Structure 1
C-alpha cells in the first residue's frame, strides 16, 4: 500500500508539473507556425533533448578532419556564406509577422537586385578614378615619361591657352647660361639615363618658366618672395621645381609632360640631397622646393604621383615642426628705423623676408594638409593648436620691391596690438572679425577657415564613435559643438573680390561637409566595391530625408556658385575636388529621391511629399542667397519646395531673378542631369580648350562623373 500511495503521489506530482509547464507554455504562446516547425509531433516535455539549437556548426562542411584533407586549402567561403544566409532565413522565421507594406515582396526583391546591379556598375566605373592606384612591378619614377622635350616656340606666356601667368609682378632676376648648364647637369645626373634628353631648353626659355612658377604663387597666398629671388645663389633643386611649376601652368601637353618629368627629378634630387647633407632639412629653399613638388603631385590627376605626394607630406611637416616654425618663439620682431643706413635697412629687410617666407610657407603647408584631409578623407598631419606663430604681414609689405619701399610702408602702418595667430583666432573670434591692416587678410581668412576645417574633422571622428546608447550628455555636447561650428561658419564673411573665390568655395564646402559624410558618399558611388556601396545605401536613404541632408545639398549648390566665380584656368586642384564632391552629394541625394519614388510608386497610393514636383515653388540651390532666401528656408526647415540647380554659367543676381525657362533649370530628381552640370562647370572653367588637353585631374573627374551619370 505504501508503494501504491507513493506511486500515486509521484503521478500527482508529475501531473501537477505537467500542468504547471502547460500553463507557462500557454502564457508565452508562440504562433502556430512555430508549433508545427519547431516541435512537430512531439510533446513539449518529450522533445528530444539531444538536438542542439541552430548554430554555426550546422552549416560547416562535412569533412573528415582527421583524414588526408589539407586543412589550409579547404574552402570555407561557401559554407560560411550559406551559414549567414540560412541564419538570416531563420531570423526571418522567428521574427513576428510584419504588416503588409507596399511595394510587395517581389517589388522589394526586384529593387534590391537593381540596387546591387547599380552598385556593381558604379564600382567598375570608380576603378578608373584618380583615387585608386594599384602599383605594378615595373613601375618607377620615370617609367611613364619619355624624356625632357620642350618646343621653345610654344613658351609664350601671352599665347598660352591656360593663361599661366596673370600676375603683373615684374621679377628683375635673369637666369644665366651658367645656371642653365648646372640645371641640365642636375637633371641628367638625377635621371641616370632613365629618360631621353635630346635637347635642353635655353636659359631664356627656362627663365620664363621660372618666373611663371614664381608668379603663380602670387595669385593665392604668395609664399615665394619675388624681389629677393636670386637664381645664381638659389639651390638647383628649387630652380628645377619652379621650372616644373611653370610647365604645369601651360596648356600644351608636351610642356605639361615635361613639367611632370621635372617634378620627379626634383623629388629624387631632394632625397639625394638630404642623404648627402642632413642640414638641408632646415634650409628654406629646400623646404620651398619640397612644397612645390608636393603641390604639383597632390592634384596632378595621375594616380601614382598623387599617392606618392600624399605619402611624402609627413617629411616636410616634420621638418617644419622640428625647426620650430609653427611656434611663435621662432620669430622675432624686426622693425625698421628712420635712422638706419642703407646697408642696415637692406639687412633688416632681407631678414624680415626670411621670417615672412617661413610663416607663409607654414600657412600654405597647413592649408595643403587640411585640403588633402578633407577632399581625400584622411587624417590631417597638423594640429591647429600648435599654430601659435604670428600670421604674415600684409601683401603690400610683402610685395615691397625694395628695402626703401618696405621701410616707408612699414613706418606708415600701424602694428599696435601685434599680429594674431591661428591659435588665437580660433580661441577668440574678434581677431578674424576685425583684422588689422597690417595682416594679410587673404591669408588670415584662408588659414582661419582651414583651422575650422580641422575642428570639423575632429567633430566627425567623434561622431563616428557615438551611438544611440551612449551617454546623453555626450550626445548633447556633440550636438552643441556641431551648432557652434556651424554658427562660426555662418557668421564668417568674405569680400566680393575675385581673389577670394577659392576661399568662398572652401567656405561653402565646409558647411556642406559638416552636414554629411563625404566618405559615405564616395563609398555609395563605388569607391570601395559593391558590398560597401550597398552598406552606404542603407545609411544614406534615411539621411536623405533629414534636415541635415537638405542643408548639405543647399551648401553643395553654393559650392557650385563659388566655383563658377573662380577665374578661368584656375580651377584645377583642391577646388576642383571640392566641386566634384559637391556634385556627388547632390547626385547622391537625387539618387535617393529617385529610389524612394520608385519604391513608393507601386500599387498602393501614397501621400506626395511636400517637395514633390507638383507641390511648392522651385528652390534654386546655386544662386545668391538673397535671390530666394524665403524658399530656401521653407525647404530646409519644412521640406517645402522643389530643389533645383541652374544650368547657365552666369550667377548675377539680375539674371537669376529672371529664371523661368525649363531649359535653364535642372530638377534635382534627375541624377544624370546633375552630373552633366558638374561636367559642364569644370569644362567651362577652361574655355576653348579641348578635353584631351585640359588639366589631367579635371579630365579624370569629368570622365568619372560622365560614367556615373550614364548609369541612369
Structure 2
C-alpha cells in the first residue's frame, strides 16, 4: 500500500523545460513578507502514593544554563514583538497559514478575499514581529532552520523569556495598545460565539456570559492576553452564575466509562486552591496592565451586580472539569496512577504552588472540551495566569525545572496552549517548547536506568515493590508524553521534530492495565502475565521493564519485533511513529529543494534527487511495516481512543510522503498562480505526487475521526480535518476543467465506493490503490455519497465533519478558514 507512494511523481525527474508563467519555479522558497495573525471564533493526579523524587539534577548545571550562553539549539525565546521599525514583517507559515495578504495600509495584495486567517491586524508602532517559514499556525514566531527560536547571541536561555529578564520587563509581555483590526473581517464584527456556527446545539446557559461580550474575539484578533485574564476575573466574580452552571456535554460521550475516577474535592482543598489562584491571577494582571489605568472590572457590564471579590466555581463544577480532563486528556497522556485522580492528596503532598499549578491546568484542560462561554473564559484565563506563575516558580528555584510536578504542569500548558485557538497562547507554546525540552534533557531522565532485581526479603513486600514500580513508571510516562507533544507539534507545523530517537534510552511506559491497577495484589497478578518468565519463576520484583524507544526502533529497523515476540502497547506503537515522521520530514524537505528543470550539467543533481526519492519510498515501506504491526494488534485487542489516534497519525505522516502541504497552502493563497489551467496542472503535480494514495489516506482519516466519540477526540483532530480538506480541495480543482483520463490525473473508470467508510483492506480500496480503478466518494451523515470533483462540495463536507465534533475555539477557527475558502 505504501510502496507505490511516489510512482506518479517520477515525472518531475524529467521535468518540463519550461515552468508555467507566474509559478514559483524551482528555486527554494523565499520568505514572503505577509501580515499574519490568527483568528479564532473566541467568544493525575500524579503519583502521590510515594512522591517521586525530584529528577536527579545537578544544581550547578542548571544554574549555568541560566547564567551562561547556550548553543542555538537550546535557545528559547517567546514570540514577543520586539522594538523595531514599526512595520510588520512576516514570513509564510505552513500549516494554518495566512490566506490573506495586505499592505501595511490594509489594502489587499494579490490574494483571495475569501480567506480570513485567525485575524487581520497591524501591530502598534514600535513593535516588529518575528517570523519563520514552514509552520502550521498563522503565527509570528522567530525560529531558525532547526525549528528553534531566534534570539540575541549570548543571552542566557532563561533570561530570554520575558518573565525571567532582569530587571523584569513587564512591558514586553503583551502590547499595551490593542492593535488595530480590519473591521470588515474582524471576528468582533462577525460575532464569535460558538452558537453562530452551531445554531441547533446548546452551547451554554449564558448565565455568566450575559454580563459581557460572548467569547471575546479580541482575545485572538488583538493578541492581547490581558483580556483572557480580565474575562477570567469577571467570570470568577459572578458567584451566582457559577452556582447554577451546568456543563454542556452529552453523558452518552461517557458511555465507555471514565478513564480515571475523580475524587470529591474537600473544602480545605478548594480554599487553598482559591488562595493560590488569587495570587496567580493578580500577579498576571499586574504584569499585563503594566501600570495602566485599566480597571479590574473594565470588561463588566454597567448593570452587573456581580461581587467585587473572586471565588473559584463550586467544588461540583471543578469536579466536572476534572472529570472532563480525565475523560479526554488522560486517554492520550495517561499520567495518573491507579486510575484515581485525587486533587486533595496532591495538594497536601507537594509544594503548594507547584501542585496548584498542576490542578489548575487540569481544570483548564478539562474546560477546553466543554462548549460554553464560561468554560472558554476559564480556560483562557487560567492558562495565561499559570504560564506566568510557572516561569516565576522556576526562576525562583531553578532546581524545580527538573521536578516532575513542574514538568507535568509544563506539559499540560504546552498542549493546552498549542491547541487553544488563542493566537497569543499558540505562539507561546511553540516558542517555548524548546525550553521545556532543554529542561527535560538537563534533568537526566532521558538516560537509561536499569533497576536491578530486589533482594528476597524485599520481594516479600508487594506494597513496596508496587510503589517502587510506580515511581519508575511515572518517570517513563512523563518523558514519553513529551515525545508525543514533540511529534504532534512538528507534524502540524511541518517542521522536523526537536527530539532525536537516539536520545531516548529510558524504558518506555508499560501496559496501561498495570498502571491502572488499584491494589498491590491486582498489580502483581497482571505483572506476572505481562512479564511472564519461563520455568515458573515469578517476574514480580525482577525489575523487568519495557525496551527504550531507541532499542525498539533498532528492532523495528531489523524487522525483528514479531520474530522476537515483542508485544507492543498502543502507546509504544504511537512512540514508534516519532522517528518515522522525522525521516519523512527530512526526505520530503530535501526533495522540495530540487529543481524540476534539469539541464545536461545537472545530471548529478538529478541522480541525487532520484536517490532521495528511493529513500523516501523505503520510509514508506517502513510505514507499511508499522501499519502491519498496528493491524496485528487491533485483530486481538479491542479498539481504543489511543489506537484510533495512532492510526490517524499514521495516515497523516503517510500523507506528508505524497503531498507538499506548504505548496498546497501557497496555492490556496494563490501565490505565484496566474490562473491558467496549464499552470494549475503543473502546481497540482507539485502538490500531490500520488493522487490515489493521498485520497486513500484522506478517506481513512475521515473514517477514524468520525468513529471516535466527540468528547474524547485528541485536541488536534480538527487540524487533521483541515489538512485533509485542503488536499482534497487541491485535487478537485483539476476536476472542474475538461480533462480526459489520458492526462493521468484521474483513475480508470470503475465502481464508485466510499473511501471514508471502507477499511484499508477492503477489496475496492486495494483495487483502487493497485490498479487505479474506481471512483472514490465521501459519505454524508445521512449515508448518501458525494463525489470529490467539485471544490465547494468538498469543503462544505469538511465543514460538516467539523460541525459533528465538540465546538472549541480551535475548531471554530478551522471551520471559519474552510468556510471562507469555500466562498472564494
Q: What TM-score do the two structures reach when normalised by structure 1?
A: 0.70
Residues 152-551 of structure 1 correspond to what in structure 2 (within 5 A)? Answer: 152-153=242-243, 163=253, 167-168=257-258, 171=261, 173-192=263-282, 194=285, 198-225=310-337, 226-227=339-340, 230-231=345-346, 232-234=348-350, 235-328=355-448, 331-333=449-451, 339-340=457-458, 345-414=462-531, 419-429=546-556, 430=559, 432-433=561-562, 441-467=569-595, 468=598, 469=602, 470-471=604-605, 473-491=607-625, 492-493=627-628, 494=630, 495=634, 497-499=639-641, 500-526=643-669, 530-531=671-672, 540-543=683-686, 548-551=690-693
1:112-143 deviation per Cα after TM superposition (whole angstroms, max 9, x unaligned): xxxxx997226743464993356855354332
Does the residue aligned with 2:786 lie in a helix, a strand or coil? strand
**Structure 1 125/368 Cα, relative in aligned 2: closer, same or farther at 3 Å?**
same
Match of 2:88 in 1: none
Relative contact order higher in (CA < 8 Å, ≥ 6 apart): 2
Q: Is the 8 A contact 1:675 1:706 kept in 2?
A: yes
User: Corresponding residue for 1:24?
Assistant: none
Q: Distance in 1 between matches of 2:330 and 2:640?
A: 14
Q: Per-residue CA shift, 1:318-349, capped at 9, x if unaligned?
A: 11111122222xx333667785488x543443
The aligned residue for residue 674 of structure 1 is 794
- In the alignment of these two chains, the number of paired residues is 559
Which of 131, 138, 156 is the equivalent residue of 1:132?
Answer: 138
* Counterpart Cα distance in 2 of 1:624 and 1:400: 36
Do 1:435 and 1:441's aligned partners in 2 also have CA atoms closer than 8 Å? no
Cα distance, 1:619–1:306 mapped onto 2, change above 3 Å: same
**CA distance in structure 2 between the aligned counterparts of 1:684 and 1:296, rounded to whole angstroms:** 21
Aligned pair in 2 of structure 1 residues 269, 333: CA closer, same or farther (>3 Å)?
same
Contact 1:554–1:621 under 8 Å retained in 2? yes
Kindly provide the CA deviation profile for residues 238-284 of structure 1, in whole angstroms up to 9, marking residues without a partner as x: 12112212222323220232122111121111111011111111110
Q: How many Å apart are 1:565 and its aligned residue? A: 1.5
Which of 587, 590, 596 matches 2:729?
A: 587
Match of 2:112 among 121, 128, 140: 121
Q: Secondary structure at the match of 2:332?
A: coil
Q: Distance in 2 between matches of 1:163 and 1:625?
A: 24
Retained in 2: the 8 A contact 1:524–1:534?
A: no
Change in 2 beyond 3 A, CA 1:623/1:673 = same
The structure-2 alpha-carbon separation of the partners of 1:341 and 1:351, relative to structure 1 and needing over 3 Å to count, comes to closer
Give SS of 1:420's match: coil
**Bigger helix share:** 1
Go from structure 1 to structure 2 and tell me whether the alpha carbon gap of 1:415 and 1:262 turns closer, same or farther (over 3 Å shift).
Answer: farther
Contact 2:262 2:319 in 1 (8 A): no
Counterparts of 2:747 and 2:621 in 1: how far apart (Å)?
32
Q: Tell me, in whole angstroms, the C-alpha distance in 2 between the residues paired with 1:136 and 1:176.
A: 40
Tell me what 2:810 maps to.
697
Distance 1:322 1:697 in 2: 33
Q: Which runs of 5+ in 2 are unaligned?
A: 1-107, 121-135, 141-173, 178-222, 286-295, 298-308, 534-543
Take 2:277 and 2:675, find their aligned partners in 1: how far apart are those partners?
A: 49
Task: Indicate whether 1:646 and 2:779 are aligned.
Answer: yes
Question: Which has the larger displacement, 229-238 or 204-213?
Answer: 204-213
Q: CA deviation at 1:155?
A: 6.2
Q: Is the 8 A contact 1:123 1:530 kept in 2?
A: no
* Structure 1 pair 155–383 and aligned structure 2 pair: CA distance change class (3 A): farther
1:531 to partner: Cα distance: 4.3
Query: Are 2:703 and 1:561 aligned?
Result: yes
Residue 670 of structure 1 and its aligned partner are, at CA, apart by 0.5
What TM-score does the superposition give when structure 2 sets the normalisation length? 0.61
In structure 1, C-alpha distance between the alignment counterparts of 2:320 and 2:585, rounded to whole Å = 41
Task: Kindly state the Cα deviation for residue 444 of structure 1 after the two structures are TM-superposed.
Answer: 0.7
Q: Distance in 2 between matches of 1:508 and 1:697?
A: 21
Counterpart position of 1:50: none
Unaligned 5+ runs, structure 1: 1-116, 601-605, 651-663, 687-693
Alpha-carbon distance in 1 for matches of 2:493, 2:255? 28
State the secondary structure of the residue aligned to 1:175. coil
2:462 and 2:341 map into 1 onto residues whose CA distance is 14
Change (3 A) 1:487 1:337: same
